[in-house]
Amino acid sequence: MPTENVLDDRSSMLVLYQHPGHLLRRAQQISVSMFHDEMGGALTPVQYAILSGLAEHPGIDQVSLAGIAAIDTSTGATVCARLEEKGLLERKVIPHNRRQRALTITPAGRQLLDDLVPGARRLRQRLLAPLGTQEQELFMGLLAKLVNENNGQSRAPLALPEVRESA
């Protein structure tokens, strides 16, 4: 009966553990907990994302780096200031645009990232351990698709810098 199907749909929507948003929030909680287990207390997950992005894009400005890490610009500025206080990056005013700051990773920041590689590998293994090899590939593909296809819905969408080809 059509009425029963509507009731089934409505009652299943009331079960918290059937909501993708709830499960994604729980997965984030688990991921952050494991991050601290494996990576120690030197960096938060957001600081790690910023420092990793900077290592890949030396000299980038603060606003663009926030876009790479998919965080809002005010949070990006706060995180960069904290990383500068820790001696892990340097911020310098861009002469032609005094409102922006160019960023460079310090040797201490590079060393910290290098030191965290084994922990990052363990973190990935632990997070994906409940899944078989094929399931891991499928999960990562579907998760990337979900995130990429919904990027525009984010309050801080991923914004990768344009790659300029040399002539």
Domain residue extents for the chain: 16-153
Judged by average pLDDT, the poorest of 8-17, 46-55, 62-71, 146-155 is: 8-17
- The terminus-to-terminus CA distance of the chain in angstroms comes to 66
Digit-coded pLDDT (tens) for 60-69: 999 999 999 9
The one-letter amino acid at 91: R
Q: How far apart are CA 104 and CA 92, in angstroms?
A: 9
For residue 7, is pLDDT > 60? no
Average pLDDT over every residue of 91-117:
90
pLDDT at 156: 85
Task: List all residues 6 or more positions away from 34 whose beta carbon is below 8 Å from its beta carbon.
Answer: 123, 126, 127
- Give the pLDDT band of residue 9 (cuts 50, 70, 90): low
For residue 122, is pLDDT > 60? yes
- Widest distance between CA atoms in the chain: 70
| Fold classification of 16-153 (topology level) | Arc Repressor Mutant, subunit A (1.10.10)
For residue 13, is pLDDT > 70? no
Question: What sign results for the dihedral spanned by CA atoms 38, 40, 46, 50?
Answer: negative
The answer to whether the CB of 38 falls within 8 A of the CB of 120 is yes
- Give the pLDDT band of residue 95 (cuts 50, 70, 90): confident
For residue 84, is pLDDT > 90? yes
